Amino acid sequence: MRITIADIAQLIEGELIGSGKMEITGCAGLKEAKEGDISFLANAKYEPLAKESKASAIIVPRQISLAGKTIIRVDQPSLAFSKVISHFLKDTPPLIHAGIHPTAVIAQDAKIASQVSIGAYVVIEPKATVGEGTKIYAHSYVGHGTRIGSNCLIYPHVMLRENISVGNKVIIHSGTVIGSDGYGYVTIGSKHIKIPQVGTVAIEDDVEIGANVTIDRARFDKTVIGEGTKIDNLVHIAHNVTIGKHCLIIAQVGISGSTDIGKNVILAGQAGIVGHLTIGDGAVVAAQSGLSKSIKAGAQVFGTPAQPLRQAFKTNAYIQRLDHYVELIHDLKKRIEELEKKVK
C-alpha cells in the first residue's frame, strides 16, 4: 500500500512538480485527506480548498500551480485519480481461496462459473447462477433461481432469497438480507391477513450495500437499486421502491413502499421517507428528516416534516429564539396596557 509519488506520476502520465521520492499511502478527497494521502482538484474554483488540504500530493489540471505543494498535472484529474484508487484497491490481497470449499452445499442444477471463490458452509439453491470472478464468503445463502453477476464480492452471512438478480461488480456486506417479504397486509376486522409478496429485487451493476441492510422484494414486479448506488449500514428499503443510479443512501435511512427515487439523490443518515412519493434527480434529504411529500429534482430539504433547506434553517433559528420573542410579546402587551390607560 506504499508507492512513491514519482511512480504515481508515471502511472497517470502526469507532470510532477516536487520531489518524486515521497511515499503515498492512501487517497482521499481534498477535505478529508491526511498526510500521506494523494488527492485531486478537478475544478480551478476549488483551488482554496486545495491550498488548505492536508494531502501530501494533489493531482491538478494542466494550468494549475499550487505554491509549496507537490502536484501532478494531468489533462483529466478525475480520471487520473480514479486510476490511482484502482491501483490501491488492486494491492488488497484476496482473503478467500480460489475455488469451492468442500463444505459448500451447491445444488446440482445451479450454474457456477469456472473462476469463482465460494467459502465454507455457503448454500446455493437450485437454479441459482454465479458469474465469473465472483467471491462468496462463508455462510452466505443464495436462494432458488437467484442470479449473481460477475466480479461480485459477497461477504460472510449475506442472505439472498429466491429469484433475486444481482448485477456485476456488486459488493454486499455481512448480515444484509435481500428479498425478504414486503410488509403488506389487508386488515379484515381487527386481523391482518398477509398479502403474498411474489415480486423480486433487482440490484444493478456497481452497487455497494452495507452491513445489516434489509431490501424487501416487491409485491409483484420488482424493487430496484440503480447502477452505482451506494447504501450504508442498517438501511431499510421497503417493497416496490425504485432507486435510480448513483444515489447515496446513508446509514439507518428508511424508505417506505413504492417510493420512486431519481438518480444522484442523497438521503442522509436516519432520514425517513413516506411511501408512494417521488424524489427528483439530485435531490438531497438532510439527516433525520421526515419526508412526507414528493420533491422535485435538485430540491434540498430538512426537518420533520421536511421543509426546503433554507426555510428549515430559518425556522430553526426562530425556534431557538422563541424565548426572546415571547419576552418581546409580553413587553408589547405591557406597553399597550400603559397606552390604554392613557388613551380613554
**For a second copy, which is the closer residue by CB, 4 or 307?**
307
Which of 13, 29, 43, 75 touches a second copy (CB under 8 A)?
29
Among positions 86-145, residues that touch a second copy (CB under 8 A) are: 88-89, 92, 95, 101, 103, 105, 119-121, 123, 125, 137-139, 141, 143-144
Task: Establish if 54 lies at the interface with a second copy (CB under 8 A).
Answer: no
Question: For the residues of 187-233, what is the DSSP string, one character each?
Answer: EETTEEEEPP---EEEE-TT-EE-TT-EEEPPSSSEEEE-TT-EE-T
Place of cell 403488506: 184
Q: Per CB under 8 A, does 63 bind a second copy? A: no
Q: Which of residues 62 and 333 has its CB atom nearest to a second copy in the complex?
A: 333
CB of 67 to a second copy, least distance (A): 25
Q: Please tell me the count of residues contacting a second copy according to CB under 8 A.
A: 118
Name the segment binding a second copy (CB under 8 A); options: 2-10, 58-66, 75-83, 109-117.
75-83
Catalytic residue among 236, 239, 276, 330: 239
Q: Among residues 98 and 332, whose Cβ is nearest to a second copy?
A: 332
Site for a second copy in 174-193 (CB under 8 A): 174-177, 180-181, 183-186, 188-193
Count other C-beta atoms under 10 Å from residue 15's C-beta: 11
The H-or-E segment that residue 254 falls in is: strand 254-255
Positions in 212-231 near a second copy (CB under 8 A): 212, 214, 216, 219-220, 228, 230
Q: Specify whether 239 is catalytic.
A: yes
Site membership for a second copy, residue 55 (CB under 8 A): no
Site membership for a second copy, residue 78 (CB under 8 A) = yes
Q: Which residue, 101 or 114, has its beta carbon nearer to a second copy?
A: 101
Name the β-bridge partners of 202: 165, 224
CA distance 242 to 202: 10
CB of 230 to a second copy, least distance (A): 5
Spatial separation of the C-alpha atoms in residues 224 and 239, rounded to whole Å: 9
Does 26 participate in binding a second copy (rule CB under 8 A)?
yes
Whichever of 296 and 318 has its CB closer to a second copy, that residue is 318
Give every CB contact of residue 336 below 8 A, 6+ residues apart in sequence.
none
For a second copy, which is the closer residue by CB, 51 or 169?
A: 169
- Does 262 engage in binding with a second copy (CB under 8 A)? no
Q: Which residues contact 78 (CB under 8 A, 6 or more apart)?
A: 40, 42
Q: Where are the alpha helices (DSSP H) in the chain?
A: 5-11, 47-52, 77-90, 309-320, 322-342
Distance CA 41, CA 61 (A): 7
Query: Cβ neighbours of residue 306 under 8 Å, at least 6 residues apart?
Result: 285, 286, 289, 290, 291, 292, 293, 295, 312
Q: Which of residues 284-323 bind a second copy (CB under 8 A)?
A: 287-288, 290, 292, 303-305, 307, 311, 314-316, 318-320, 322-323
Distance CA 57, CA 116 (A): 37
Pairing of strands 3-4, 23-24: antiparallel
Among 45-53, 55-63, 110-118, 245-253, the segment contacting a second copy (CB under 8 A): 245-253
Q: Which positions are annotated as active-site residues?
A: 239
